[in-house]
Structure 1
């Protein structure tokens, strides 16, 4: 069993990554239903929370069925991060997570996210302020370094552990790589196997199949795996990995009826949480992923992203289930 402070997780937990514009409550709902052991919110701007910006505050919404859940914050100012941590704590998550890994320019080039990897003393000082001012377990998600010439992940892990971080998730790429190239898990294994590191270490990057999850679990010895992009439009990946771990066999991929069913649930929760107009609009980005791999699906996808009426969308989803019942490939 993996423990983060007093929080007990499974023997080898599967975590849902905090993804901007993806990991909202509707998406988390379908991932939890399909086997995610612990999930995180989208990353939340510290400045937004302090200024009571509606978009940032809305991201604090969490539901009991999601637990255990972590709220993730990001920012470049120590004072702002400390205050944002206090605000996030009031939402009563199980974990407070700090984003030291976001590679996007508007975040990293301002010294937040992966940008702080260029200043490890500041990273340590910021983390200490947060740990000292909240009662929640504090965890961190980070990358290997800014670029291939500045990988200091073992030093970063030691510094974070020294100031009280209870677990660390490492994405096996540098900031410079963004999401390109292959994630290098050998560095993650170095951290996990270092004699001075005793907190749980979770690996992240490129896990897109049960076979790869098992290979990396055995090869790199991490305490658990965080899954991001592979879960978008495919929340079944969590249960598929768990089944493969237990049996060595792959579950049959979801058929068209299961895909339509989950898309409907996602749509309903999206509307419930965001309202009709925004819920329908923001759901559009998910349809392509839910129905990826279906031949001759483009006309239906076009209709789904153009339709603004809830009942018409539901009818269209029913039509998709009937139309592709026998021709749909079950390959993920």
Structure 2
């Protein structure tokens, strides 16, 4: 059975790349797509920023043909502004619109946006309805279990948002008060999937970081697909590894040093092409330690990479890494 969102066919049990602030930009999305992500989202975009035509918000609307299917994710606290932002984002021609009702960080949640809306389901429903009516595209939602342990209201949220027209729901298995601590609890996600009233795809999110966990939780929680976030940072191979494990029950070989360097280099080149050389090099610095996580005695190279100011310097350091580790880790 293929998973459908509106007229988008995602195949059987899709793996989605989560929208992550300062991570899920086009260069990062490129390497994830190359490694098997079935659907991706932009970083979340402020509705206020879009309406004010803020350069940073506008730039986040950049999407490329090879990324499809892709969703633009927006957040905000004002219903009218969310409607306007939806109209603006629709003009960028994504495949779907997504609303962020899950972001737990203070700058978002304490301004009445993101996970904050879990405290006011009536407003969340009204806002979702406004977004659905403002676009011809399918609308999806990402949220959490609830605000805290005493208010796990996502079961009600799922029914009411489906009633106003959303086409899929992704649920992160934590409350807002948990932030990213503790373990994600997917039991309530399973209950929603089993609710006979729910007809839309339900995707699980939170703590999927290995092929065997993905396979076990697919069986245990019966979701329609999974969204992967932090585990893909510096490790876009997670998508292809999970898919291989689903198909064969066997592990794919881990990426070699040469592969790590190759994907890291691709990410850097895409970053420079999209943001310009200076910003591209600077913003790539946050990714190096993840690309080479687990490589022994890498600290010296990491320090060099995060201080290198030109692409030539970075290429030289990567060549040194290749030379040192290619034989050691073969």
Which interval holds the TM-score relative to the shorter structure? over 0.9
Q: CA deviation at 1:312?
A: 1.1
Hey, what does 2:216 align to over in structure 1? 215
Distance 2:327 2:213 in 1: 29
Distance 2:10 2:296 in 1: 40
Kindly report which structure 2 residues correspond to 1:110-259, keeping only aligned pairs within 5 A, or say none.
110-259=111-260
Tell me if structure 2 keeps the 8 A contact 1:76–1:111. yes
Listed one character per residue, the Cα deviations across residues 272-293 of structure 1 (whole Å, up to 9, x for unaligned) are 0000110000000000000001
Kindly report which structure 2 residues correspond to 1:1-150, keeping only aligned pairs within 5 A, or say none.
1-150=2-151
Q: CA deviation at 1:328?
A: 3.2
Listed one character per residue, the Cα deviations across residues 56-101 of structure 1 (whole Å, up to 9, x for unaligned) are 0000000000000000000000011000000000000001000000
Distance 1:20 1:309 in 2: 25
Distance 1:307 1:328 in 2: 25
Distance 1:266 1:8 in 2: 27
Tell me if structure 2 keeps the 8 A contact 1:70–1:96. yes
Tell me if structure 2 keeps the 8 A contact 1:295–1:328. no
Hey, what does 1:311 align to over in structure 2? 312
Tell me if structure 2 keeps the 8 A contact 1:101–1:113. yes
TM-score, normalised via structure 1 length:
0.98
Look up the SS of the partner of 2:327 in the other structure.
coil
Distance 2:149 2:131 in 1: 29
Tell me if structure 2 keeps the 8 A contact 1:145–1:152. yes
Look up the SS of the partner of 1:122 in the other structure.
helix
Distance 1:262 1:228 in 2: 18
Gaps of 5+ in 1: none
Gaps of 5+ in 2: none
**2:284 equivalent to 1:293:** no
Distance 1:233 1:309 in 2: 21
Distance 1:321 1:252 in 2: 18
Listed one character per residue, the Cα deviations across residues 144-164 of structure 1 (whole Å, up to 9, x for unaligned) are 000000001110001100000
Hey, what does 1:260 align to over in structure 2? 261
Q: CA deviation at 1:268?
A: 0.2
Look up the SS of the partner of 2:71 in the other structure.
strand
Q: CA deviation at 1:326?
A: 2.4
**2:270 equivalent to 1:269:** yes
Look up the SS of the partner of 2:328 in the other structure.
coil
Tell me if structure 2 keeps the 8 A contact 1:20–1:42. yes
Aligned length: 329
Distance 2:123 2:211 in 1: 38
Distance 2:177 2:119 in 1: 12
Q: CA deviation at 1:327?
A: 2.3
Distance 1:305 1:129 in 2: 44
